[in-house]
Amino acid sequence: MKEYYENPLIERYSSKEILKIFSADNKFQTWRKLWVALAEAEKELDLHITDEQINELKSKIFDIDYELAARKEKELRHDVMAHVHTYGAQCPKAKGIIHLGATSAYVGDNTDVIVYTQGLLHIQKLLINLINHLSNFALQHKDLPTLGFTHFQPAQLTTVGKRACLWIQDLLMDLTDLNHVIDHIKLLGVKGTTGTQASFMELFDGDQEKVKRIDQLVAEKMGFKKTFAVTGQTYPRKFDAHVLNVLSGIAQSLSKFATDIRLLQSLKEVEEPFEKTQIGSSAMAYKRNPMRTERICSLARHIIINSLNPAITAATQWFERTLDDSANKRISIPEGFLAADAIIMIAINVSENLVVYPKVILQHINAELPFMVTENIIMEGVKRGGDRQELHEKIRVLSMEAGNTVKVEGKPNDLIERILKDGTFNLAAKDVDALLDPSLYVGRAPQQVTDFINEEVNPILKDNENILNLNKTDLKV
């Protein structure tokens, strides 16, 4: 019996790994690790805290009495103090030194930074694996000519692999943004109620060096190099906006990728994976709907819109602290990560199982190529004694006639036959056939693929070999 709402991101889309990162266990265990780090730092700076108290705190980091915490929060109407009391009940010897000198933001904000960092590293791992799969696809199909499209109208030829490089390049830009955010992450540190560290100045009898040092010590114990130099009670909410902007950028890139695949599937040129027993439509049994890439576009839209939440929050904070961020960020930021995890995992599944139909691609090329080779035909005609301007006018007239045959009469493009029959160009069928090889019209596309992968992608993949070959047993598609 399921009578209550369940979050689809949890039930249908997101991986166990990202759900663990944003789990209650990870959150509240991190709170306790931060309380241990604070006690250790305070002891090292000569406050009267014993090893026995610290060891007792350490022994209960992973043993959280959630029932007691819930009862205490209902009584106290304060989540942090509820957990302080719960931890104290489990650690009676250390009860009096838990949270000493700290404010709620000490555990809340520092934990958020830690959890978001874990989430960003997880997204980084997924993104690099996706880039790897798309790179393999690009190299595999770097020489396969295909119609290029501008305005979704047939244009000059490109290759299937070259088009994939456009997707990869967008993702490389996202990876650069992601790495920048990761490289510049800072903890809130130990700042007190308005960021002045006044409570710690009191604890350490006005010793500014010790107060400065406790900020550094806690950061080091939690695995971070830096804290924000100045804050109010919280870390700057601009950080949350930066994090969601990165996820939004990834969503934008993957929506573009997925939309291209959906269009190509409609053209029957490229298809997302379709399983043997999969049903495409409840009514039309023959259909093979692109449900994976449609899901990417759907969830990507949620991420892009959701990125406005921390932006507006950052814009509307008052002075050193307001609490109108809390309820919003505990929903919007985890959901942004969960949805980003889902779309990248789906994109990985799609990219390593894409099906390409070269004969359909060639059929579409052949329908348009006669128009595209007309300039070459004019030049060949001139070589055989023709007048360039006369041949140009002749091609223009014949092209209009052939276009009318295609669009009005619904017949195949017969421009080449019209040119050969005309006789003005002095060309035999074998001369024109030599001009109809699609590979002659892809420019440097194959070499561009090779150069791009070798120069811009492979160095990144080499630096991250340890996180390639992702375990995808948890993938929900």
Q: What is the pLDDT of residue 438?
A: 95
Residue whose token pair is 């663990």? 20
Distance of alpha carbon 111 from alpha carbon 333, whole angstroms = 13
Q: Write the DSSP assignment of 11-29 as a string of letters.
A: III--HHHHHHTSHHHHHH
Q: What is the pLDDT of residue 279?
A: 47
SS3 234: coil
Distance of alpha carbon 395 from alpha carbon 379, whole angstroms = 12
Spans in the chain with pLDDT lower than 50: 279, 282-283, 285-286
Is-contact 426 381, C-beta < 8 A?
A: yes
Q: What is the pLDDT of residue 471?
A: 63
| pTM above threshold 0.75 | yes
Cβ atoms < 10 Å from Cβ of 303: 25
Distances (CA, A) of 134 to 73, 166, 394: 49, 10, 44
Q: What is the pLDDT of residue 430?
A: 87
Q: pLDDT tens-digit profile of 407-451?
A: 899 988 888 888 888 888 888 888 888 889 999 999 999 999 999
Q: pLDDT tens-digit profile of 167-200?
A: 999 999 999 999 999 999 999 999 999 999 999 9
Is-contact 322 233, C-beta < 8 A?
A: no
Distances (CA, A) of 15 to 337, 468, 473: 11, 17, 9
Q: Which residues are catalytic?
A: 151, 281
Q: What is the pLDDT of residue 380?
A: 85
